Amino acid sequence: MSNDGIQPVQWQDNQLLLLDQRLLPEQTVYLHYSKSNEAADAITDMVVRGAPAIGVTAAYAMVLAASEAMAVSADNWQQAMSPLIDYLAKARPTAINLHWAIVRMQACVDALDSSKDDALDILLEEAKTIHREDIQANKTMGEFASALLPENCGVLTHCNAGALATGGYGTALGVIRSGVANGKITHVYADETRPWLQGARLTAWELLQDKIPVTLIADSAAAYLMQQGKVQWIVVGSDRIAANGDVANKIGTYSLAVAAKYHGIKFMVAAPTSTIDMNMPSGDGIPIESRPADEVLGVMGQRVAAEGADSWNPVFDVTPASLVDAIVTEKGVVEQPNTEKILAMMQSSS
């Protein structure tokens, strides 16, 4: 269902299939899930990651939850779903798409007659619609964003915001795909993105699948790359955008935005409107997930730090709206974002 042969989330034979992104690029392995709690654990354990992909996965997990609940209580399956939904909702706290997908699927559940024979089919079609809409949104925002780019543009991206992080095509990498296809982007740089190395393992792999050359850099080399005039735009995705335009994204994004502002380089955030949390006034209230210390103390399970050292491992940081030049969504572009501009865009019908 996704683009370019990269399908991180699939539904086959009444099961959810997830491409295990922990094993890329060495192995391409799909894990099969028939229980909603297992799908929730897959989100927590980073089998699937990226806010839009987490949202799509959650939509299918809701179908699994309904199926399980129906097997337990045919007459009261909607109520029987509640503990399964509660477990799913706690899978990862920062990505608002998880909550968004659950709320949308819950509305579909609530609208159904509990005795309706095709209830599960209706829920599955809603999940597939969410999946399709995400792919189309990514392609649309890619075209919107490409129009902002100058000719002979070099871009730097952080983490992985590609087909692997979405239903397909990608947010930040969707911008890059469109920019390359339109002849705007001439060179792509990717931060390796410690501690999970999503840039080195996933972004580089994904771009090379599309035969897009990519140059990998250490995260700490980004400011020097900007000083050398190698890039004109920073392009990233997001896990949650507050109503005022503050952006939560992979740790290290804030550093890039600060360096970009100093060097006069444009900073773009590409994300679907499902990532915008209008109930969150500013980034100050966004919950920031922390993960285990050993992710920083080692690399791919191999400890490299001195024994006895501790670590601080926030997974995300918040970039103030004042450092963002453009937020690009499937509804359009918000330049120099603030609450009024984002609200107007969210209320638009396009």
Does 189 map to a domain? yes
| pLDDT tens-digit series, residues 221-238 | 999 999 999 999 999 999
| pLDDT value, residue 350 | 55
Q: Do 115 and 75 share a domain, yes or no?
A: yes
Mean pLDDT lowest among 15-24, 116-125, 271-280, 328-337: 116-125
Please give the share of the chain, as a percent, with pLDDT higher than 70.
97
User: For residue 56, what is the domain's CATH number?
Assistant: 1.20.120.420
| pLDDT value, residue 1 | 38
Does 1 map to a domain? no
Q: Do 31 and 114 share a domain, yes or no?
A: yes
- Banded pLDDT at 75 (limits 50, 70, 90): confident
Q: Tell me what the mean pLDDT of segment 86-99 comes to.
A: 91
Q: Do 104 and 203 share a domain, yes or no?
A: no
| pLDDT value, residue 349 | 65
Which position among 134, 191, 210, 239 bears the catalytic label?
A: 239
Q: Do 245 and 261 share a domain, yes or no?
A: yes
The 3-class SS string of the chain reads CCCCCCCCEEEECCEEEEECCCCCCCCCCEEEECCHHHHHHHHHCCCCCCHHHHHHHHHHHHHHHHHHHHHHCCCCHHHHCHHHHHHHHCCCCCCHHHHHHHHHHHHHHHCCCCCCCCHHHHHHHHHHHHHHHHHHHHHHHHHHHHCCCCCCEEEEECCCCEHHHCCCCECHHHHHHHHHHCCCEEEEEEECCCCCCHHHHHHHHHHHHCCCCEEEECHHHHHHHHHCCCCCEEEECCCEEECCCCEEEECCHHHHHHHHHHHCCEEEEECCHHHEECCCCCHHHCCCCECCCHHHHEECCEECCCCCCCCCCECEEEECHHHCCEEEECCEEEECCCHHHHHHHHHCCC
Q: Do 95 and 215 share a domain, yes or no?
A: no
pLDDT score of 341 more than 60: yes
Which of 98, 113, 137 represents a domain boundary (last residue)?
Answer: 137
Does 312 map to a domain? yes
Instruction: Tell which residue, 9, 5, 57, 8, has the closest CA to residue 36.
Output: 57
| pLDDT tens-digit series, residues 118-133 | 999 999 999 999 999 9
* Cα(221)–Cα(126) distance, integer angstroms: 44
Q: Do 62 and 178 share a domain, yes or no?
A: no
- Banded pLDDT at 112 (limits 50, 70, 90): confident
Q: Do 225 and 186 share a domain, yes or no?
A: yes
pLDDT score of 64 more than 50: yes
Does 289 map to a domain? yes
Kindly give, in sequence order, each residue whose CB lies less than 8 Å from that of residue 258, ignoring residues fewer than 6 positions away.
Answer: 323
**β-strand 233-236 against 266-270: which pairing, if any?**
parallel
- Banded pLDDT at 2 (limits 50, 70, 90): very low
* Cα(330)–Cα(3) distance, integer angstroms: 17
Q: Do 172 and 94 share a domain, yes or no?
A: no
Does 193 map to a domain? yes
Q: Tell me what the mean pLDDT of segment 264-290 comes to.
A: 96
Separation of CA 65 from chain center: 23
Q: Do 176 and 322 share a domain, yes or no?
A: yes
Tokens of residue 207, six digits: 């771009």
Domain residues for the domain of 313 are 140-347
User: For residue 184, what is the domain's CATH number?
Assistant: 3.40.50.10470
Which of 69, 102, 137 represents a domain boundary (last residue)?
Answer: 137
Does 201 map to a domain? yes
Mean pLDDT of the chain: 94
Instruction: Tell which residue, 270, 279, 288, has the closest CA to residue 326.
Output: 270
Task: Decide which of 336 and 6 is more confident.
Answer: 336
* Cα(97)–Cα(166) distance, integer angstroms: 11
Q: Do 192 and 330 share a domain, yes or no?
A: yes
Q: Do 342 and 193 share a domain, yes or no?
A: yes
Count of the separate structural domains present in the chain = 2
| pLDDT value, residue 330 | 95
| pLDDT tens-digit series, residues 280-296 | 999 999 999 999 999 99
134 is catalytic: no
Does 55 map to a domain? yes
Which of 94, 109, 137 represents a domain boundary (last residue)?
Answer: 137
User: Taking CA 251 as the corner, what is the angle to CA 290 and CA 141, rounded to the nearest 5 degrees?
Assistant: 120
pLDDT score of 3 more than 80: no
For residue 195, cis peptide bond before it (omega within 30 degrees of 0): yes
Q: Do 188 and 275 share a domain, yes or no?
A: yes
Does 4 map to a domain? no
